[in-house]
Amino acid sequence: MRYAIAIVMLFCAVQAWAVNVVVSDASARATAPGQESATVRFSITSKKEARLVAIVSPVAGAVEIHSMTHDNGVMKMRAIEFLQLPAGKMVKLGASGNHVMLLNLKHSLKAGDNVPLTITVEFADKRKEKINVNVEVKSSSPSRNEHEHHTH
């Protein structure tokens, strides 16, 4: 098993020259029974100026990019159509600030699961690139005060 992972990683390293967009540290928290949404965290770096325009996952009815702003001391979230990716700069999507939500989950996320995510990025010349990502589901830690969803 460990050997197989090493081969996959080597393969990725060899392929890296052809890739314009790199996504790393993709993770989500295990969901509680009945929980219909989950936040996905990842870091994304595009070599060229681009926009993150779409995300899909087979486990979610919809995936949204959310931005969070402070408005007179009140935290507000809204879905945004795209996220700007400056050339060469790592953009982090976490539990606060800009984040990605899996909505209408088709089944609960269990620790140890891998959830596929397909991220579409559009470059200035309108060319698009799709990046397939495996999101690692980690056990939820109730001790940490995290951004849980919430009604919009």
Shortest reach from residue 58's CB to Cu ion, in Å: 20
CB-wise, 77 or 85, nearer to Cu ion? 77
Sites of contact with Cu ion (CB under 5 A): 66, 77, 101
Query: What minimum distance in Å lies between the beta carbon of 20 and Cu ion?
Result: 27
Query: In the complex, what is the shortest distance from the CB of residue 54 to Cu ion, in angstroms, rounded to a whole number?
Result: 17
* Minimum gap (Å) between residue 142 Cβ and Cu ion: 19
Cα–Cα distance list, 103 to 29, 46, 152 (Å): 14, 26, 12
Closer to Cu ion by Cβ: residue 50 or 77:
77
1 or 34: CB nearest Cu ion: 34
Judged by beta carbon, residue 41 or residue 66, the one nearer Cu ion is: 66
